[in-house]
Structure 1
Amino acid sequence: MQSPTKFPSTFPVPLPLASLLCAAFALPAVAQSDMPTVVVTASSLEQTLKDAPASISVLTRADIEKRPVVELAELLGTVEGVSLSRSGNAVPGVQLRGLGQAYTLFLVDGKRVNATSVSFRGNDYDTGWVPTSEIERIEIVRGPMSSLYGSDAIGGVVNIITRKVGKTWRGSMKLDTVLPSDDAQGDTRTASFSASGPLIADVLGLRVSAGYDKREGDGKVNAPVNGVTQPGFPLIANRQFGGALSWMPAAGQDVKLGYDTSRRDHGGFILERHASALSHQGRYDFGRSEVTLNADETRNLVGTVTGQVNPNKANNNSLDGKLVLPWDAARQTITVGGELRREKLFDPANVTGLPGTPGYRQNPTVKLSQYAAFVEDEVALRDGLKLTIGDRYDHHENFGAHHSPRAYLVYHATPGITLKSGWARAFRAPTLLQGSQNWGSVSCGSATVGCYIVGSAALKPETSTSKELGAQFDYGKVGGGFTFFRNDLKDMIDITSRTADRKLAPSYSNFIGFLPDGRPIFAYQNIAKVRTKGVETSLRAEFSPQVSVRANYTYTDAKNVSGAIGLPMIYRPKNNANVTLDLRPADSWTASATARYIGEQYLNVPASGLNLVKKGAYTVADVNAAYRWNKNLTVSAGVLNLGDKGSQRDTSADFNEEGRRVFLSLLAKF
């Protein structure tokens, strides 16, 4: 008699969570129904979710409208494979499959957004450049997509897709207020508006949108620990405005001109973004084409050092295009495309060279150019079996040529079961700052007695190799799946190795000298290897038109394996799970309850591997209900973080979850 199968000890699923998932996967199947979801981010073609050659999730407009959304990162954190970087109480950054937030590429309608050059952060500003009222859906591709999008897409891509200009006029307005149960926590107010419609029927259309949200800063929400009180959330205030014209001069031809401006205040650090885009899409007998010219300027009005005002600005201009060519006789679709991109940063405070050296502060500008060409071929090997292969050639002004190949198989074993498997190699060039030896910034906690960090022209680009294998099932009202993944990242760019201790500093591998005032200087460096691996699972079931459930669970093992002993990476919970129960007791009433389980994670991991700091696991539950007054007016209310969990911050590396709070929302459509 065979012994029962045992799960390895390296896969610690909490017992209550395991019971929940086992019960969920035992749900019965029901007949297939509903229209399939179409996505555009996973390849150069529009495809249904189950045909897409990638692991991809979609957040819909309905998901966004259910509750007040100040920061989209919080909503993205409910998707399988996504975790949030929560250093202190800063706005969280989005991480995919255990890789840091710098490895997640954000797009708005397929156009790159990146505030890193002016803020020295990851993607914590890039989740909110668009008013939520204008978002149609968000596509999250988990896994490298450098073969299509180039650098920064090693971890994956988040594509925020806005609403199209309609053939008839439509509009919406949403007002939210959030009141915390603790008077020391800040209130939240949000307002958004959008309208769209034809100016000349079937020829010219207009779309406008605007949004504003503000979360007041916290008072003394954290109890003292060893006599030290950690601050709560800072003031968060954002505003956005956008407009677009859509011109259809002939059948199959679409020209769009858009402009967006946004202002985002994170605790007094203020960024403004001005973005313009001109695009043309054409459909012909032989295929279709797309060309887009983007001009993007991001301004940091304050700088990055507390107590100082050092404004800077970055410009990112690009021209990209692609041509999609169906080859029906060979059962293939071939896509060819390319991109020209130019980046520039003007920063008188940080692009200065080293203090006390010749040429200091003589040239406050750093810039670079790069170009790329890519090809992708989707081949129908047989009925139900497709292979997507592609490669992108990038030539970077400072780091030369790099290839990013990808291969992905999609096999529909039965009408309800799909198998997917992929392999990809990706690269990420050092940022404009990391690779510039003229860039430098104060660090180590002080602008006068700390340390100094600088870019390095000796950096090598990061490279990764990724593999995944998964299965999905879809029987209409019941569906789900699982995916195993592994990513090996080499030459990770790092600046965590630094100290203000002047005696200890020379022992660091990236120490390069002292400033005239004695502060040690450290350069960005490459570290050998990081590995992430794990499994993502998801499930949805509609028991009846009145009751449905969605659930997902992610296990992630993310480690720095450069040394003899692998070290866990910070802000990467090994276990994450989300469950949502949706109810529709009557045509005019809807309700839902959600639970987010955030597993144990590390807040600080010294290079020695000693004295690691952990944060315990916790669960956050929300409930809400909505009443549709008529076809134009909906009122919603609910309680967020019902159990008031995760609210105490113990150390500077720790973070708060927002505590228990109630919300009221009004949505008007016309």
Structure 2
Amino acid sequence: MSYPQAPSFLLRTGILGCLLCGATLAQARDGLELGSTVVTASATEQTLREAPASITVIDAEEIARRPILDLADLLGRVEGVTLSRSGNTVPGVQLRGFDQAYTLMLVDGRRVNSTSASFRGNDYDTGWIAPELIERVEVVRGPMSSLYGSDAIGGVINIITKKASSTWRGNFSSTAIAQQDRDAGDAWKTSASLSGPLVPERLLLKLSAAADRRQADREVNGSGQSGFPANRNNSANGELTWFVDEANELALNVDNSRRNHDDFVLRREAYALTHKGEYAFGSSEFSLQADETRNLDGTVSGQNNPNEANTYIAQGRLALPLWQTNLRLGGEWKREELDDDTNLAGLPGSSTYGQDPTTSVDTSALFVDYDFPLLQDLRLTLGNRYDHHENFGGHNSPRAYLVWQHGDHLTIKSGWARAFRAPTLLQNSPNWGSASCGSLTNGCYIIGSENLKPETSNSKEIAFMLEYPGWGGSLTVYRNDLRNMIDIESRTRDVTLAPSYGNFVGFLPDGRPVFAYQNLDKVRTQGGELSLHKDFGSDWRARLNYSYLDARNLSDSAPTPMIYRPRHSANLNLDWAASNRLELNASARYTGTQLTSVSTRSQVRKEAYTLFDLGLRYRLSDDVTVGTGLLNAFDKTVERDVSADFNEERRRIYASLSVNF
């Protein structure tokens, strides 16, 4: 299989940059500025240069530049990140070739994954928090299971929200997006926040609410496939922070969200109580969390099969600085429960059908993370997490990471990690099943399996980072080897062909073939990530990233490429501060050739394409900012021709307003 190379993208975007002569924003902090502070890599504050991981930071300024309805659109512009496809809904985020199920999503360090409530095509988890309420997003590429457990086998995305203010302040933001094609659905979003002291310097309150809508497309796709469905999302969040004294802080968080994607509705309620302490010997953090996610409709068109997932977590961390070393200790207990009267009923027609529609699992863990100097500028981080899973026993997830800071400009990082991931509640339950293969009556049926083995991965990376006044960059090379990958792609409605599949179980009484989740022996992802940034005087900045990804299933005698993993992808951003009030921006996103279907008989691929966006913001005053721009400015048409694929929206114009008060 051959792929087109990246130079054509670089040529086109370079010409665009010359022609625009300044269509960009100014002085944005991004993940290459090594003085930026991050917390996700070690659960304590560090600079990017010190952090033992590959991290990109997206800050509030970057988020404010474009009309983002869902963070997936912005995350897809980060090096090492590609977007999965599940039909015309919000795409899923893939880190280094691992799909969204392998990426731990956090909001202020708290899990938000809804995998148990929406088992396939889950496009909900990047949108629980409105973008306008976010302070920054930390994207950690590579396994972080030594700290966060099996959910983080591919990486971690930590959404950090804006903190409560010590004086009363608020914000109102609104954006409208109009389609050039009037048969395509328009969109809008709005959010509001308010924070301040109930008791000065002691008790702070933060409140926020957001809503966004995207109307359904009419007939916009000449191939006969439908366009984008309607999406309707609402959220409300509150936080009460009590500074007990100079050393102790208590915070109570309440989140309530409702996300409706194509009339499949998820409602989420989450509560967290967190204590943070700062002492002479170190610092501590302890939290209790409860999360209820209700799937009001189910996951199969034409059926109504609601379910309810509950997660309860107690976790604690202790950080101890010891001379020139740092020791971090912690533990976690987690219980997951699922109640699904339809999909946990067992096989239709069996003697036990419908007897027990519930399942649950308990896990507990202890972890340690220790960094210390080997030489003056060379530090080694060693860590391990021991997870005990109710169904799979004990597993270790160790890692070792070196960070060498050579002088003021060069940093070299290199690490190895081993990660463990247990099957989800659905994958592991023999009572779980769902219609599939595109039909409720003459399709196929898929079920969970008690015979699944946990997945394990071994990952290696080396990164080179340079930072000089006005310019910098990084180059990272990595390899991930995943064993026993859990898979349900092998299925067919063809009753003659079905028995030849390795995960074929039998037939339902109505004749539909049944397939079970299975383990694939080996999957490998490897590649490279390049990032560059350059300031041209005080007004201009250019940022470029490029990713190379080779993702293959090695389980069979002939290695098979994995779908929706483009080998080449790149992003270019140009920023210009035209004046103290006017900022302009231009960006280009290149997506290389990718396979959309792979079988023993054929491979279907989608050709490479590039999309361009233009925008500006104007500050009417210190508190009022307006913006406008074009998305897909050159009206590039990228349409799906199979139901599992994904359209790229055509040319749109947007207008935005942000008011601080």
Secondary structure of 2:446's aligned partner: strand
Q: 2:161 matched to which residue of 1?
A: 162
| Matching of residue 640 in structure 1 with residue 631 in structure 2 | yes
Q: Deviations over 1:115-149 (max 9, x none)?
A: 11111135521001112221100000000000011
Conservation of the 8 A alpha-carbon contact between 1:11 and 1:555? no
Question: Which 10-residue stretch deviates more, 242-251 or 62-71?
Answer: 62-71
Distance in 1 between residues matched to 2:628 and 2:504, nearest whole Å: 55
| Matching of residue 419 in structure 1 with residue 419 in structure 2 | no
Counterpart of 1:44, as a letter, is: A
Secondary structure of 1:586's aligned partner: coil
Distance in 2 between residues matched to 1:289 and 1:536, nearest whole Å: 35
Q: For 1:505-520, what aligned pairs fall within 5 Å after superposition?
A: 505-520=498-513
Question: Which 10-residue stretch deviates more, 134-143 or 168-177?
Answer: 168-177
Secondary structure of 1:63's aligned partner: helix
Conservation of the 8 A alpha-carbon contact between 2:33 and 2:467? no
Conservation of the 8 A alpha-carbon contact between 1:618 and 1:646? no
Secondary structure of 2:150's aligned partner: coil
Q: For 1:77-476, what aligned pairs fall within 5 Å after superposition?
A: 77-121=76-120, 123-224=122-223, 229-328=224-323, 331-476=324-469
- CA 12–178 in structure 1, closer or farther in 2 if over 3 Å, else same: closer
Counterpart of 2:329, as a letter, is: V
Q: CA RMSD in A?
A: 1.9
Secondary structure of 1:102's aligned partner: helix
Aligned residues: 648
| Matching of residue 614 in structure 1 with residue 594 in structure 2 | no
| Offset of residue 196 of structure 1 | 1.1
| Matching of residue 504 in structure 1 with residue 497 in structure 2 | yes
Q: Deviations over 1:613-662 (max 9, x none)?
A: 11011110001011100000001000000111143222223321111000
Conservation of the 8 A alpha-carbon contact between 2:4 and 2:608? no
Distance in 2 between residues matched to 1:427 and 1:18, nearest whole Å: 39
Give the number of the structure with larger relative contact order, counting CA–CA contacts within 8 Å between residues 6 or more apart. Answer: 2
Distance in 2 between residues matched to 1:491 and 1:34, nearest whole Å: 38
| Offset of residue 556 of structure 1 | 0.4
Secondary structure of 1:164's aligned partner: coil
Secondary structure of 1:152's aligned partner: helix
Q: Deviations over 1:414-473 (max 9, x none)?
A: 210100101000011100100011111111222122221111111001100000011000
| Offset of residue 21 of structure 1 | 10
| Offset of residue 64 of structure 1 | 1.0
Secondary structure of 1:64's aligned partner: helix
| Offset of residue 356 of structure 1 | 1.9
Question: Which 10-residue stretch deviates more, 353-362 or 141-150?
Answer: 353-362
| Matching of residue 668 in structure 1 with residue 649 in structure 2 | no
Q: 1:26 matched to which residue of 2?
A: none
Runs (5+) with no aligned partner, structure 2: 16-28
Counterpart of 1:16, as a letter, is: S
Question: What TM-score do you get using the length of structure 1 for normalisation?
Answer: 0.94
Q: Deviations over 1:359-396 (max 9, x none)?
A: 21011111111100000001122222111110000011
Conservation of the 8 A alpha-carbon contact between 2:411 and 2:466? yes
Counterpart of 1:502, as a letter, is: V
Secondary structure of 1:351's aligned partner: coil
Q: Deviations over 1:247-278 (max 9, x none)?
A: 01111211000100001111111101000000
Q: 1:27 matched to which residue of 2?
A: none
Q: Deviations over 1:542-597 (max 9, x none)?
A: 11121111110001011111111111111111111001000111101100000001
Counterpart of 2:7, as a letter, is: L
| Offset of residue 17 of structure 1 | 4.0
| Offset of residue 522 of structure 1 | 1.2
Counterpart of 1:664, as a letter, is: A
- CA 641–20 in structure 1, closer or farther in 2 if over 3 Å, else same: closer
Conservation of the 8 A alpha-carbon contact between 1:102 and 1:122? no
| Offset of residue 498 of structure 1 | 1.4
> Residue 470 of structure 2 is aligned with which of 462, 473, 477?
477
- CA 278–122 in structure 1, closer or farther in 2 if over 3 Å, else same: farther
Conservation of the 8 A alpha-carbon contact between 1:34 and 1:476? no
Conservation of the 8 A alpha-carbon contact between 2:531 and 2:544? yes
- CA 505–651 in structure 1, closer or farther in 2 if over 3 Å, else same: closer
Distance in 1 between residues matched to 2:155 and 2:394, nearest whole Å: 21
| Offset of residue 12 of structure 1 | 6.4
Runs (5+) with no aligned partner, structure 1: 1-8, 24-31
> Residue 582 of structure 1 is aligned with which of 572, 575, 578?
575
Q: Deviations over 1:287-329 (max 9, x none)?
A: 111001000000011111111211111001100111111111x
Distance in 1 between residues matched to 2:645 and 2:546, nearest whole Å: 24
Question: What TM-score do you get using the length of structure 2 for normalisation?
Answer: 0.95
Distance in 2 between residues matched to 1:348 and 1:100, nearest whole Å: 28
Question: Which 10-residue stretch deviates more, 355-364 or 215-224?
Answer: 355-364
| Matching of residue 550 in structure 1 with residue 543 in structure 2 | yes
Q: 2:614 matched to which residue of 1?
A: 623
Distance in 1 between residues matched to 2:525 and 2:2, nearest whole Å: 13
Conservation of the 8 A alpha-carbon contact between 2:238 and 2:255? yes
Counterpart of 2:642, as a letter, is: T
Secondary structure of 1:62's aligned partner: helix
Identity between Structure 1 and Structure 2 (%): 53
